[in-house]
Amino acid sequence: MKHFNLEGIGMTSRRTRDRLVQRLRSNGIVDERVLDTIAAVPRHIFVDEALAHRAYEDSALPIGHGQTISQPYLVAAMTAALLAGGDGPPGRVLEIGTGSGYQTAILASLVAEVYSIERIAGLLERARDRLRALGVRNVQLKHGDGNSGWPAKAPFDAVMVTAGASHIPDAVMDQMADGAHLVIPVGKGDVKDLKRLRKSGDAWRQETLDQVRFVPLVRGIAR
Ligand code: SAH
């Protein structure tokens, strides 16, 4: 798998990870690139050691600061939705909500460049350490409020928001290239619509892919 140097990292067994992939497959994930990547990226290094034995369960787990590493099924479904949205793998991808860095690592192995923004500095620094330990090089991280996007790195070919939004941030839409697509959990209540939007000229085409629960996309930054 490109971009990953797994030597020297204590990994849980290949069999445990293959079981997770099997489960995702039986729950409807069909994109083999995504499944291969889930099999290759060691999720246990993105959670605290005390939770490492649960890293290959298909569930969200706490990562501190009241946040969670997303459920593998949702990571897979959102990644597949992002890849399927365009004509080929997107080149420049913006992720909002780095969290543990797990989704970042998955994206990094499938697209050319990942730009990821996290509002909680403590989480961002741990994610940075983990990505470095894995030898991931095509990721740039930023401590900031993802509601503003990352103007200096725009335009993006694809955007993934990994926190539940009440509405789609205007700044993010403005930073998308023509033909770019956005995957975002959005809606007023606790249960969000997982949407994929595609920008074409001034028009937007949108589809609802699923109903999901996420920690909220909030405003401002925090240590
Ligand atoms: N992809 C991550 C998901 C973490 S949960 C993972 O699998 O580990 C969502 C993350 O979004 C949290 O870390 C939260 O702090 C972050 N977040 C929430 N609002 C944000 C905002 N406005 N800008 C950037 N990050 C935000």
Nearest-atom index, ligand 1, CA of 46: 8
From residue 46, alpha-carbon distances to 16, 26, 126, 209 in Å are 16, 24, 9, 27
**Average pLDDT of span 128-146:** 98
CA–CA distance, 189 with 86 (Å, rounded to integer): 29
Orientation of helix 72-84 relative to helix 14-26, angle to 10°: 60
Active site residue 70: yes
CA–CA distance, 111 with 124 (Å, rounded to integer): 21
pLDDT at 88: 79
Higher pLDDT pick, 148 / 201: 148
- How many whole angstroms from 97 Cα to the centroid of ligand 1? 3
Helix (H) or strand (E) holding 203: strand 203-213
- Count CB atoms within 10 A of the CB of residue 219: 10
Q: How does pLDDT run across 61-119, given as a tens digit for each residue?
A: 999 999 999 999 999 999 999 999 777 788 999 999 999 999 999 999 999 999 999 99
Q: How does pLDDT run across 171-190, given as a tens digit for each residue?
A: 999 999 999 999 999 999 99
